[in-house]
Amino acid sequence: MKARTRARKRAVDLLYEADLRGLNRNETDPTTSLEAVIVEVLKERLAYPGHEAPLPQYAVDAAEGISAHLTHIDEAISTYSHGWTLGRMPAVDRAILRLGTWEIMYNDEVPDAVAIDEAVAMATRISTDDSPAFINGLLDRIKTMKP
């Protein structure tokens, strides 16, 4: 597995954890934003990576970028996911879509086709059978419609 592919997986793991923490936290404190939870989880992983190697820089850059642009990223996903709200999507798909959308909309060093291919490959490995086609179609639509 390539280094950037591993970094993407680590970013998705971090986003997935933050998303679940955010959902749980919103039950007790609805003022906590997902952006803040992403930053909190990122700080924890940087301070103590646990049993894994330290976070690759690309995973850090992705998490920071997604946190900074989360409102626009989620808006794009919601706008082009016909019939699916963010809340209806599996959490892992939300994480993959957020990363893919960030790469398409805000990371010029990654070609759009590569961002989509990597997202589809990750969905094939870690999500449902229907997720790769859904993610492919949605990210392709975001790529087509991006400013």
Assigned CATH for 3-145: 1.10.940.10
* pTM of the model as a whole: 0.94
Domain ranges of the chain: 3-145
Q: How many CB atoms lie within 10 A of CB 80?
A: 17
Tokens of 61: 């850059």
Task: Provide DSSP, 101-140.
Answer: HHHHHH-TTS-HHHHHHHHHHHHHHHS-SSHHHHHHHHHH
Q: How confident is the prediction along the chain (147 residues), in pLDDT tens digits per residue?
A: 699 999 999 999 999 999 999 877 655 666 679 999 999 999 999 999 888 889 999 999 999 999 999 999 999 999 999 888 999 999 999 999 999 999 999 999 999 999 999 999 999 999 999 999 999 999 999 999 987
Tokens of 102: 């960030």
User: What local confidence, expressed as pLDDT, does residue 113 receive?
Assistant: 98
User: What local confidence, expressed as pLDDT, does residue 22 receive?
Assistant: 85
Q: What does the alpha-carbon distance between residue 31 and residue 77 come to, in Å, rounded to a whole number?
A: 22
- Give the model confidence (pLDDT) of 57-90 as tens digits: 999 999 999 999 999 999 999 999 988 899 999 9
Q: What does the alpha-carbon distance between residue 115 and residue 12 come to, in Å, rounded to a whole number?
A: 13
Name the nearest CA neighbour of 81 among 9, 73, 25.
Answer: 73
Name the nearest CA neighbour of 97 among 74, 114, 113, 79.
Answer: 74
Q: What does the alpha-carbon distance between residue 9 and residue 102 come to, in Å, rounded to a whole number?
A: 14
User: What local confidence, expressed as pLDDT, does residue 28 receive?
Assistant: 60
